[in-house]
Amino acid sequence: MALSLALVRGRTVVSRLAPITLVLSSSSSSSRSRHASTSSSSSLPKKVVVVGAGLMGTGIAQVAATAGYQVSLLDVKQEFVDKGLKRIEASLQRVAKKKGQAPEEVSRTLALITPSTALESVAGAELVVEAVVENLAVKRELFSRLDHLAAPSTIFASNTSSLRIGDISAAIRPDRFGGLHFFNPVPVMPLVEVIRTPATSDATFAALRAFGTAVGKTPVSCGDTPGFIVNRLLVPYMAEAIRMLERGDATADDIDTAMKLGAGYPMGPFTLLDYVGLDTTKFILDGWHTDFPNEPLFKPSPMLDKLVAQGKLGLKSGEGFYKYDAQGKRL
């Protein structure tokens, strides 16, 4: 069941229940040969630039390089790119160990990733995937600068979780712009949501789907609707669980147990909320509520607001709906 792994913008959601090794083998296996076998497609991008060397950007750069792409990984400071490359190296080493690959496989893949702090690196790219902070103004400013530096044919994609692609792409090559929403951790999670706005051209959309497949993911298509498919269903579900708790209908523990044993979900909504980060969930919910004030599913939650104000952000702060020790084990 994908639910426990279906990450919102949280940083550390890794299901304890899903067989990670299984997912790994299905998501990133033999992607180099997969790329080779599909690279004859004229719609498939060849050189890729990933902007943002954080959690998601490094994951996207990793799966792209593993698939044989030349990748430029960009961030605002050299130290951020260096840190990102170290994270990729560690992740590739884990994969190599698990799959019994030779150590040279790691260095071969790493050699395909060129770190950079210069936006000019987009010059020869067919595809730019943006994974910078979840802030509309920052993303728009970045893309409008990239628009002047990239070739007119270059396709732009955002990995945003909660913003509308159309709001980012307005007036910035809207026909060659779409969404590529990967899930955390990217090398493990087998899904990518491919988003098209009404202005996204068929060729752009096909190229984005082809890229998703080439990097070993299963693409699903979705319109430019808040939260796309996964988060649109998941965030209101988690918010409703909090509302049940607020009303005193049941305890967090009982709600979690009920959804695990009664609905077959691998983890309950409160465990998931703590993994995702309560601040992250609040950020998404608040943003949607601002845009759609009459939508009851997006109504802010006083309990969530209070916990976030108290710094109880979930696993990452040691307390959310549950308490955790320094190793992240629930107390």
Residues that are catalytic: 161, 181, 193, 231
Greatest distance between any 2 Cα atoms in the chain: 59
Question: Which residue carries 């190793």 as its tokens?
Answer: 327
Report the Cα 309 to chain-centroid distance in Å. Answer: 25
Q: Is 138 in the site for ligand NAD (CB under 6 A)?
A: yes
Q: Is 160 in the site for ligand NAD (CB under 6 A)?
A: yes
Minimum gap (Å) between residue 54 Cβ and ligand NAD = 2
Q: How many angstroms separate the CA atoms of 272 and 251, rounded?
A: 15
Minimum gap (Å) between residue 26 Cβ and ligand NAD = 19
Q: Is 129 in the site for ligand NAD (CB under 6 A)?
A: no
Handedness of CA 8, 13, 19, 24 (dihedral sign): positive
CB-side neighbour CA atoms (13 Å) of 232: 13
The site that binds ligand NAD (CB under 6 A) totals a number of residues, namely 27
Q: Is 121 in the site for ligand NAD (CB under 6 A)?
A: no
For ligand NAD, give the closer residue by CB, 67 or 180.
180
Q: How far is CA 69 from CA 35, 61, 83, 136, in A?
A: 8, 9, 21, 28
For ligand NAD, give the closer residue by CB, 8 or 245.
8
For ligand NAD, give the closer residue by CB, 74 or 308.
74
Q: Is 75 in the site for ligand NAD (CB under 6 A)?
A: yes
For ligand NAD, give the closer residue by CB, 10 or 314.
10
Question: Which residue carries 């009920």 as its tokens?
Answer: 258
Q: Is 7 in the site for ligand NAD (CB under 6 A)?
A: yes
User: Is the separation of the CB atoms in 59 and 140 below 8 Å?
Assistant: no
For ligand NAD, give the closer residue by CB, 239 or 245.
239
The angle formed by the CA atoms of residues 140, 291 and 218, to the nearest 5 degrees, is: 65
Among 18, 23, 51, 239, binds ligand NAD (CB under 6 A): 51
Q: Which of residues 79-98 bind ligand NAD (CB under 6 A)?
A: 80
Minimum gap (Å) between residue 58 Cβ and ligand NAD = 8
**Helix 230-247 vs helix 302-309: angle between axes, to the nearest 10 degrees?**
90
DSSP letters, 18-61, are: S-HHHHHHHHSTTHHHHHHHHTTSTTS--EEEEE--SHHHHHHH
Among 4, 91, 161, 301, binds ligand NAD (CB under 6 A): 161
Best CA proximity match to 53, nearest among 18, 85, 30, 20: 85
Q: How many angstroms separate the CA atoms of 142 and 319, rounded?
A: 35
Among 76, 203, 220, 229, binds ligand NAD (CB under 6 A): 76
Q: Is 278 in the site for ligand NAD (CB under 6 A)?
A: no
DSSP letters, 233-298, are: HHHHHHHHHHHHHHHTSS-HHHHHHHHHHTT--SS-HHHHHHHH-HHHHHHHHHHHHHH-TT-GGG
Minimum gap (Å) between residue 253 Cβ and ligand NAD = 25
Minimum gap (Å) between residue 245 Cβ and ligand NAD = 24
Site string for ligand NAD, 221-260 (x = CB under 6 A): ----------------------------------------
Q: Is 55 in the site for ligand NAD (CB under 6 A)?
A: yes
Q: How many angstroms separate the CA atoms of 263 and 5, rounded?
A: 16
Among 23, 63, 106, 132, binds ligand NAD (CB under 6 A): 132
Among 159, 197, 271, 281, binds ligand NAD (CB under 6 A): 159
Among 3, 5, 9, 259, binds ligand NAD (CB under 6 A): 9
Q: Is 11 in the site for ligand NAD (CB under 6 A)?
A: yes
Structure tokens at 171: 């007036």
Task: Using CB under 6 A, list all residues that contact ligand NAD.
Answer: 7, 9-11, 51-57, 74-76, 80, 131-134, 138, 142, 159-161, 182-184
